[in-house]
Amino acid sequence: MKAAVYYNNKDVRVQEMPIPEINENEILVNVKASGICGSDVMEWYRIKKAPRVLGHEITGDIVKVGENVKKYRVGERVFVSHHVPCNTCRYCLNDKHTLCKTLHSTNFDPGGFAEYIRVPEINVDRGVFLLPDEVSYDEGVFIEPLACVIRGFRVAEVKPGQTLLIIGSGITGLLQLKLAKAWGAKKVICVDVNEYRIKKAEEFGADLSLHAKDDVPRGVREVNDGYLADVVIVSTGAPQAVTQAIENVDKGGTILLFAPVAPDVELPLKMFDIWNKQIKIVSTYAGAPRDIADAIEFLKRKSLMLEDLITHRIGLDDIQKGFDLVSEAKESIKVVVYPNK
């Protein structure tokens, strides 16, 4: 089979490798669609494990089932989660599944940018979800990132009627914008440094879309009855976005750190402002099975329309172009790869 092997952002090679063999407790999935995630081009994070096959936003068909697997059968359309929790550790038992050591160590083989993936037993047990007839393969690539966004909203305790400021209008920021609207937000303001993404935020329903160099606090107050934002979501790894979040969150509000900064980044923060405004700062990572189930339900009910976020569709042979588009972050939102084309 063909698979795209990642060496670095500028070196993603399509290579031949054997179709994975499964045991009696595993399944084999033919990958139909696979989204390129912003984390896939986070080079400081990915390169330490290179070379490897990336890709975790996948949908596909089951083509082989181990003899002990009774829950699934050949021909079923599925979404497969690459990370799954143990469900027994102190974190899982306290609904903090994404802190689970097992969740951080599980994956399918080799990765979603391949024609086939082997789904290990633990993923078969708690990481395979049937794709409803109402959800296309393309829509299904949003299940994993949407689950991450849903969990972030839960962690930040986002409530209907609140005003949200989203710093970063890439794919994650736009997913958050769409979810916020469906969640019942009063106002949603988006910020970015890229004019293309600023316009996209407007197109997808932002009440206000600003450049990061604008007077953001003034803009927020103008659309929010004189107040700053109840919740500020940092969806960019730019360190200055954290400072901007503190400046734009209202008294008693919440800052959600969604996108990570590089591990060696240190920030000088005005601790008095954090203390004086009595704000809460929380962080989030990944999604748990509950979040995935909710994401599928949103898509099944058409509560969220996400396919219009796809700007590029490419075959596996053109995957380097896809990585270039996502890493350059200029005029693309979601790039979807079709391993069988």
pLDDT digits (tens, 9 = 90+) for 91-127: 999 999 999 999 999 999 999 999 999 999 999 999 9
For the segment 135-193, what is each residue's pLDDT rounded down to a tens digit? 999 999 999 999 999 999 999 999 999 999 999 999 999 999 999 999 999 999 999 99
The mean per-residue pLDDT over the stretch 37-53 comes to: 91
Handedness of CA 97, 180, 234, 143 (dihedral sign): positive
Q: How far apart are CA 26 and CA 161, in angstroms?
A: 45
pTM (predicted TM-score):
0.96
Reduced to 3 states (helix: H, G, I; strand: E, B; else coil), residue 12 is: strand
Angle formed by the axes of helices 216-223 and 240-248, nearest 10°: 40
Task: Walk me through the domains of the chain, giving residue ranges and CATH numbers.
Answer: 2-147+287-338 (3.90.180.10), 157-283 (3.40.50.720)
Q: Give 163's strand partners.
A: 187
Contact 165, 229 (CB under 8 A): yes
